[in-house]
Amino acid sequence: MQSRKKILAICGSTRINSTNHRLIKAIAQLSKDIFDIELYDRLTQLPQFNPDDDNENVSKEVLGFRQLLKKADGVIVCTPEYAHGVPGSLKNAIDWTVGTSEFSQKPTMLITASTDGKYGHQSLLETLHVIEAKNIHNLQLLISFASTKVNKESKINDMTALSEIKKLLERFEQTINEKVKVA
């Protein structure tokens, strides 16, 4: 029997009970036999990115975040869109990895779950592409009007969204397994 893959989930919302947090919980439940999902919930503890601070004295929180990314077999980013853009705390976290390449060839799944989401989704998709997240264009999904599709008990109650997420998880698992075969 193959062991479950370690996945780091990053929620772009800093609200404790946001739609995106509930969606990550739903995904964890759907994929519990395949993935061991750890939620990184300390975005607000990362200092503001400054290239001058990205040296041997970088903060312990940044080092810890980078280590979690390195150890993960894959990453799930689940985020809302704020003012047609990427939430600042999420973009800040990603900026801390640009010079150290933790996302490079790392299987990464992006779900933007928001009211509309198309602008933030496209922006984040481009960022993840530039930092070489593996197979990002095939591992992405935009879920508009997300708050109507995930209930308070972290269950996906929209059959179309559920079907799309299951297909996305299958592609994510395939991408991770491709990485394992090559290594």
Prediction pTM value:
0.93
Burial class of residue 146, CB neighbours in 10 A (0-12, 13-18, 19+): buried
The total of structural domains in the chain comes to 1
pLDDT at 2: 60
Q: Would you state the pLDDT for residue 182?
A: 44
Q: What is the CATH number of the domain that holds 142?
A: 3.40.50.360
**Residue 125 CB coordination number (10 Å):** 18
Domain extent for 127 = 5-50+58-182
Q: How confident is the model at residue 164 (pLDDT cuts 50, 70, 90)?
A: very high
